[in-house]
């Protein structure tokens, strides 16, 4: 997997692609006045038609249907779709490369990732809006030296946009364009605003092609506006004469002596004299996205007067108090922290209906809605640490902090209440650099630096060690690492974290970490499971969360079941399942359902007509005979079984039944209970430790 980070730190200036803005907006009007008003005198000279003192010729043999545009089909509609990304867009790779130059003033490429699932390569490109800011810093002008005049600078408007886009290149020369954020984040501006701020490559190439044919800028500008529908579709609504001059400037440097020409029908009086109207300004400040109404209704309160209150960060999340009650039995209890000998471990993740957490390995996939995202950050606030695997850390580059609003409703949690990120990286594969989100968040004071758990023999780069320590992080080396037996010793990891003051751990992924912790022999380490299920299918190519099967000594499969399970609808379509971890060996069935069996045991005893007590061993289809309670007779000797029900002869000693298992730890071999003579009291068979757990689930 390779990444090429190009995180934009600020808003791009209107540098129209490769062409510098040679003329400012203030000079543009003056140049227009010169070219439009003073040219009347030049036109009637003896040399013929002139502009700015230069002679030009009109092309008379130009075809009647000549057009300067070469727009792809449905360009206006496609530009709007690629801007808003309301729904995923499926295009061929050639079509994507054709349309993208007309929206590259909106999107800027950030990074590229590659994954190879099932012997095929999938490339994913991530783009961010050009108005995105990494961090909003206040501008403090430097003092002007004595004797010098202060420069006049145009103050840039404080605007930012958090919209991101991803392009997944599928096998077969197709690609899927969709949002890389959740469904509630939208642009803080419209398409006209970005078109007025920066010109796209497509419209500039249109002018560049005409400039290379030695057409004069005024003629190119006039000819483009002769087709206003195509001009607007290509994003040239706010194009100016200076943009065309800047395009021709580079060509003119190598063609000083070439004479300029004009399109057929061009006159200086017919050229556009009025500059285009400025684009409408966007919202003054990007507000946090409004969460749609779901089970909990509107999650973000409306405060009418916020003059004296601090500014709201756009990524701050709101999770109402009335939505937290159902989670209380499954989150750590601070009152029990002093009596615990290991941390409270909670497994939480979002999954599709086919138990997938992503569509393609190594590609982040938005599964659940905004309500469950706010719930996840609330769960982070209730734990001391967040644990993820190295694959998740590399693919997602997560911040691993809590962005839940504080008690006053603004900002995130204070630094001392932020959870500690834990990254499981046995071979030190994670590249530590200051541009990581988790380190940038730590440097801004909005989170803590991570602890990276490595195995003995991991090659730690000195720069990585110093960078991690400079931000407050550490490398933790766990000696118990045996790849042949499942890798890291999770019990040892949790014990080390507990000694370091971590009383609760929230495990968020990825698929390998969750599947390992859900295995049967590690169920005693897990306290709670909180799973969000979305109504979607990802297919077999996705990453699955499923533990390896476990079997008892008799070869029968065992299952890990949850107890105290609760299902809670969340948002428009998601469901959250909460439960406690529970492990019970299955009991052999005697032919009756567990509920009927418990009811029969709770029923009052009755005696048969012969005065004998009810037999404890009978076939399910043969009820015990009734007897009056006044008669008491000794129990009859056991009746021999028919040949088809007799067990095969065995040379082993008789087994002692303990909670549905024999003395060897294996479940009873027959579904029909077989009477066995009682074991001698002088030498009872010892019961293993694993036989102390009796199954409460039907076979």
454: enclosing H helix or E strand = strand 451-454
The residues near 124 (Cβ < 8 Å, ≥ 6 apart) are 112, 113, 114, 115, 166, 167, 168, 169, 363
CA pair distance 123, 125, nearest whole angstrom: 7
Neighbouring CB atoms inside 10 A of 262's CB total 23
CA pair distance 204, 212, nearest whole angstrom: 12
CA pair distance 252, 522, nearest whole angstrom: 73
* Nearest Cα residue to 315 out of 510, 132, 508: 132
The residues near 237 (Cβ < 8 Å, ≥ 6 apart) are 192, 195, 196, 231, 276, 279
Per-residue confidence at 604, pLDDT binned at 50, 70, 90? low
Beginning with the edge strand found earlier in the chain, give each strand of the sheet holding 107-115 in spatial order.
Answer: 89-92, 174-179, 164-170, 122-129, 107-115
| Number of Cα atoms under 13 Å in the Cβ half of residue 669 | 11
CA pair distance 546, 347, nearest whole angstrom: 13
End-to-end CA distance of the chain: 46
CB 364 within 8 A of CB 509: no
User: What confidence tens digit (pLDDT) does each residue in 206-236 have?
Assistant: 999 999 998 988 889 999 999 999 999 999 9
CB 385 within 8 A of CB 400: no
User: What confidence tens digit (pLDDT) does each residue in 58-108 have?
Assistant: 888 888 889 999 999 999 999 999 999 988 999 999 999 999 999 999 999
CB 640 within 8 A of CB 648: no
What average pLDDT does the segment 130-157 reach? 66
Per-residue confidence at 162, pLDDT binned at 50, 70, 90? confident
CA pair distance 109, 275, nearest whole angstrom: 32
CB 55 within 8 A of CB 47: yes
CA pair distance 696, 694, nearest whole angstrom: 7
CA pair distance 609, 616, nearest whole angstrom: 17
* Nearest Cα residue to 516 out of 477, 560, 452: 560
CB 56 within 8 A of CB 50: yes
* Nearest Cα residue to 134 out of 443, 410, 449, 472: 443
- Going by the DSSP 8-state scheme, the letter that residue 533 receives in this structure is E
CA pair distance 614, 623, nearest whole angstrom: 10
Fold (CATH) for 321-582: Dihydrofolate Reductase, subunit A (3.40.430)
CA pair distance 182, 403, nearest whole angstrom: 15
Helix boundaries (H) for 397-501: 437-443, 462-470, 490-499
CA pair distance 658, 651, nearest whole angstrom: 21
CB 679 within 8 A of CB 685: yes
pLDDT of residue 251: 87
pLDDT of residue 410: 47
CB 52 within 8 A of CB 31: no
Crossing angle for the helix pair 241-253 and 25-37, to the nearest 10 degrees = 90
CA pair distance 545, 357, nearest whole angstrom: 7
Backbone angles phi, psi at 530, to 5 degrees: -125, 110
**Cα 581 to chain centroid, rounded:** 26
CA pair distance 485, 41, nearest whole angstrom: 91
177 DSSP β-pair partners: 89, 167
Per-residue confidence at 157, pLDDT binned at 50, 70, 90? low
Q: State yes or no: pLDDT of 498 exceeds 70.
A: yes
Neighbouring CB atoms inside 10 A of 275's CB total 14
CB 694 within 8 A of CB 584: yes
260 DSSP β-pair partners: 56
Backbone angles phi, psi at 687, to 5 degrees: -100, 130
* Nearest Cα residue to 242 out of 204, 200, 295: 204
- Choice between 270 and 312, residue whose per-residue pLDDT is larger: 270
User: What confidence tens digit (pLDDT) does each residue in 619-664 have?
Assistant: 444 444 444 444 444 555 554 545 544 444 544 443 333 334 443 4
CA pair distance 600, 597, nearest whole angstrom: 5
Share of the chain above pLDDT 70, in %: 63
Q: State yes or no: pLDDT of 671 exceeds 50.
A: no
Local structure of 583: helix, strand or coil: coil
Q: State yes or no: pLDDT of 466 exceeds 70.
A: yes
pLDDT of residue 54: 61
CA pair distance 419, 441, nearest whole angstrom: 12
CA pair distance 308, 108, nearest whole angstrom: 36
* Nearest Cα residue to 514 out of 388, 634, 627, 385: 388
Backbone angles phi, psi at 331, to 5 degrees: -100, 160
Backbone angles phi, psi at 299, to 5 degrees: -85, -20
Least confident of 143-147, 175-179, 234-238, 251-255: 143-147
CB 312 within 8 A of CB 301: no
122 DSSP β-pair partners: 115
Instruction: Break the chain into its structural domains and give their ranges.
Output: 25-135+158-262, 321-582
Share of the chain above pLDDT 90, in %: 30
Crossing angle for the helix pair 201-211 and 241-253, to the nearest 10 degrees = 50
User: What confidence tens digit (pLDDT) does each residue in 260-282 have?
Assistant: 888 888 877 666 555 566 666 55
What average pLDDT does the segment 316-328 reach? 84
User: What confidence tens digit (pLDDT) does each residue in 356-373 have?
Assistant: 988 888 787 888 888 888
pLDDT of residue 158: 56
pLDDT of residue 74: 93
CA pair distance 339, 575, nearest whole angstrom: 33
pLDDT of residue 320: 81
Q: Peptide bond before 510: cis, by omega within 30 degrees of 0?
A: yes
The residues near 528 (Cβ < 8 Å, ≥ 6 apart) are 330, 331, 344, 345, 346, 347, 578, 579, 580, 581
CA pair distance 20, 13, nearest whole angstrom: 10
pLDDT of residue 488: 76
- For the chain, the farthest-separated pair of C-alpha atoms sits apart, in whole angstroms, at 142
């Amino acid at each position: 997997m390779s990444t090429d980070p190009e995180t934009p730190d600020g808003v791009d200036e209107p540098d129209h692609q490769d062409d510098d803005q040679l003329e400012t907006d203030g000079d543009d009007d003056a140049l227009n006045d010169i070219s439009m008003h003073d040219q009347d005198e030049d036109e009637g000279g003896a040399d013929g038609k002139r502009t700015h003192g230069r002679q030009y010729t009109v092309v008379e043999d130009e075809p009647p249907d000549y057009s300067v545009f070469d727009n792809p089909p449905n360009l206006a509609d496609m530009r709007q779709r690629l801007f808003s990304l309301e729904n995923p867009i499926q295009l061929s790779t050639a079509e994507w490369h054709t349309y993208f130059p007309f929206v590259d003033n909106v999107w800027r490429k950030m990074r590229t990732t590659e994954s190879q699932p099932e012997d095929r390569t999938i490339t994913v490109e991530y783009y961010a809006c050009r108005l995105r800011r990494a961090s909003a810093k206040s501008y403090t002008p430097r003092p002007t030296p004595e004797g010098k005049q202060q420069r006049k600078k145009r103050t840039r408007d404080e605007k930012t946009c958090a919209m991101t886009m991803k392009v997944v290149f599928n096998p077969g020369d197709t690609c899927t364009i969709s949002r890389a954020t959740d469904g509630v984040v939208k642009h803080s501006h419209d398409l006209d605003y970005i078109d007025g701020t920066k010109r796209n490559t497509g419209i500039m190439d249109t002018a560049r092609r005409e400039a290379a044919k030695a057409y004069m800028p005024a003629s190119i500008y006039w000819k483009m506006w002769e087709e206003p529908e195509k001009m607007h579709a290509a994003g040239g609504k706010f194009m100016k004469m200076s943009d065309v001059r800047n395009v021709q400037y580079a060509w003119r440097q190598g063609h000083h002596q070439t004479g300029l020409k004009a399109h057929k029908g061009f006159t200086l009086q017919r050229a556009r004299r009025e500059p285009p109207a400025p684009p409408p300004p966007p919202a003054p400040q990007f507000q946090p996205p409004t969460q749609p109404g779901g089970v909990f209704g509107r999650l973000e309160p409306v405060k009418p007067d916020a003059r004296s209150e601090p500014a709201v960060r756009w990524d701050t999340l709101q999770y109402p108090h009335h939505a937290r009650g159902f989670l209380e039995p499954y989150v750590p209890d601070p009152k029990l922290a002093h009596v615990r000998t290991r941390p409270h471990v909670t497994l939480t993740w979002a999954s599709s209906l086919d138990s997938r957490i992503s569509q393609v390995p190594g590609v982040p996939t938005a599964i659940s809605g905004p309500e469950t995202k706010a719930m996840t950050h609330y769960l982070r606030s209730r734990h001391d640490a967040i644990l993820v695997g190295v694959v998740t850390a590399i693919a997602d580059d997560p911040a691993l902090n809590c962005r839940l609003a504080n008690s006053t409703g603004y900002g995130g949690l204070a630094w001392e209440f932020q959870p500690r990120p834990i990254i499981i990286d046995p071979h030190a594969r994670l590249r530590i650099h200051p541009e990581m989100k988790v380190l940038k968040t730590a440097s801004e004071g909005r989170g803590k630096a991570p602890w990276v758990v490595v195995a003995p023999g991991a090659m730690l780069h000195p720069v990585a060690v110093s960078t991690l320590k400079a931000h407050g992080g550490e490398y933790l080396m766990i000696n118990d690492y045996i790849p042949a037996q499942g890798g890291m010793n999770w019990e040892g990891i949790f014990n080390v974290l507990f000694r370091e003051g971590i009383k609760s751990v929230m495990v968020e992924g990825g698929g390998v970490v969750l599947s390992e912790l859900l295995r049967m022999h590690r169920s005693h380490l897990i306290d709670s499971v909180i799973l969000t299920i979305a109504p979607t299918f990802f297919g077999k190519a996705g990453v699955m969360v499923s533990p390896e099967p476990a079997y008892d000594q008799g070869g029968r499969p065992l299952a890990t079941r949850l107890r105290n399970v609760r299902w809670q609808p969340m948002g428009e379509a998601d469901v959250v399942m909460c439960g406690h971890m529970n492990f019970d060996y299955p009991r052999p069935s005697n032919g009756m359902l567990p509920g009927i069996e418990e009811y029969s045991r709770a029923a009052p005893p009755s005696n048969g007509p012969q005065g004998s007590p009810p037999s404890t061993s009978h076939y399910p289809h043969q009820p015990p005979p009734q007897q009056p309670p006044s008669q008491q007779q000794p129990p009859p000797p056991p009746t021999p079984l028919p040949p088809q029900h007799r067990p095969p002869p065995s040379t082993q000693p008789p087994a002692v039944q303990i909670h549905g298992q024999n003395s060897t730890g294996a479940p009873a071999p027959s579904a029909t209970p077989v009477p066995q003579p009682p074991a001698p009291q002088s030498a009872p068979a010892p019961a293993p430790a694993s036989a102390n757990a009796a199954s409460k689930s039907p076979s």
